[in-house]
Amino acid sequence: MEILNYTKAHKDFRKKVREFLKKEVIPFADLWEKDKIVPREIWQKMGQAGFLSPTVPKKYGGPGLDLLYSIIIDEELAKTEQYGLFAPLHSDIIVPYIITYGNEEQKKKYLPGCVSGDIITAVAMTEPGAGSDLAGMTATAVENGDEIIINGSKTFISNGIHCDLVVLAAKDPAVENPHAAMSLYLVEDGTPGFSKGNKLNKMGMCSQDTAELFFTKCTIPKTNLLGEKGKGFYMLMAKLQQERLICSVMAVAAAEHMLEKTISFCKNNPVSGKPKSKSQVNQFTIAELATDIKIGRNFVNKLIADHMEGKNVIIETSMAKYWTSDMAKHVADKCLDLHGRFATLERCSLLRNWRDIRVMTIFAGTNEIMKGIIAKSMGL
C-alpha cells in the first residue's frame, strides 16, 4: 500500500542519510550514552551534510525541500538507538516557528545557522508546576521601554545544554486571560539573566541534553518578540499538529527497528536445538506486533500526506500520537520478552530502547491529554 509518493530523489536521500548515520552516529551511540551527552560537533556535521532543517527556504540558507525529506531523517535517526542527537525537535518542531512567525530580520539572522548546525534550538514551555497545562505557566515577560524583562524557570527542556537559541513562552502578568497573556520570545544563549542548570539524569534518552533553564531579570530587546504579542498560546496550538505527527513518525520507526532486530535474534538463537522463531507462541507474538506496526505505519503515512496537503488533522494526529507511542512501548516490552535472559544485560540494545521509548507517551502532551482532546472533539 503506497500512500506517500517517494521519488527517486527521496530514495537517494535516504541512502545518504543512512550512510552518514552509519559512519558518524551509530558507532558512537554507546559512548554518547555513557557520557550522557552528544558532542556539539555532530550537530555541525549534520548541518554540513544537509540533514538539518531541510524545509528552510533557499532564501534563508536552507535546501527548500518538502517535509518528506524531514520524515526520512527522523525515521532513520529513530533507528540509531540513541536520542541524544534530537534533530527532529530542532528541525521539524522549533525551527518552523521561526519560518512561520519570524519577521524578515529574524529569519535572516537565525535560519542559516539553524541549517548549518551553528545554532541549536530549544523550546521552553514546561515549568516545574506546569506541564501539559500551558495556561498554568508562571514565567513572566514585562515590557520596559524598548526592552522585555523575563523572570521564571523552565524544566525538562530538550537540547537545553547545547541550545544557542530558545523559543520561550512567557506571560504578561498585567493580562488576566492566561491564553491572551502568553507570547513567544527569542532568547539567545549568553543573554544576561539567562542561565542553564545541570543536565537532568533520566531513566532513558540518557545522551539527550535535557536541562532546566533559568531567567532572572533576563533582558532582551522588544524586537525579539516572535510573532504577535498575546498570540503565543495560539501559535503553540497551531504547531501541535506537526509536533505530534513527528512524534508518531519516530514511534513507528522505532517500533519497526525493534521488531526487525528481534526477528533476527529469534532466527539466530536456538532453544532446545531449534531457533526461537520456530516456536509457535513466538511466531504469534511477532505476527501480532508486525500487525500493530503496519496499522500504525499506514495511519501515520496517511496523516503525513494529509498534513502536507494542508488539511486540518489535529484530532487525528492526537490519536496517532497516543496510539503509536503506546504501541511502541508495547513492542519494546514484548521484544524484551522474546530476547529472554539476554534482555537483562546492558549490552542488549533493546533494553536501552525500552527505557528510551517510555517517555514518548509523556512528551508533546501526555497521552491522557491526547484522549481528552479526542473526547472533546466528539462532544463528550
> 161-201, pLDDT tens digit by residue?
999 999 999 999 999 898 899 999 999 999 999 999 989 99
Residue type, 297: R
Name the pLDDT band for 1 (thresholds 50, 70, 90). Answer: low
> Average of pLDDT values for 105-128?
96
Count of Cβ atoms closer than 10 Å to residue 105 Cβ: 9
Mean of all residue pLDDT scores within the chain: 94
pLDDT at 137: 87
Name the pLDDT band for 39 (thresholds 50, 70, 90). Answer: very high
Name the pLDDT band for 131 (thresholds 50, 70, 90). Answer: low
Give the chain's domains with CATH numbers: 8-119 (1.10.540.10), 123-229 (2.40.110.10), 233-377 (1.20.140.10)
Alpha-carbon separation of residue 269 from 46, 262, 263, 283, 299 (angstroms): 36, 10, 10, 14, 33
Q: Cα(220)–Cα(120) distance, rounded to whole angstroms?
A: 19
> Average of pLDDT values for 113-132?
91
pLDDT in tens, 210-219: 999 999 999 9
Task: Please tell me which residue in 33, 76, 212, 243 is annotated as part of the active site.
Answer: 243
243 is catalytic: yes
Residue type, 88: P
pLDDT in tens, 86-111: 999 999 999 999 999 999 999 999 99
Name the pLDDT band for 53 (thresholds 50, 70, 90). Answer: very high
pLDDT in tens, 308-346: 999 999 999 999 999 999 999 999 999 999 999 888 888
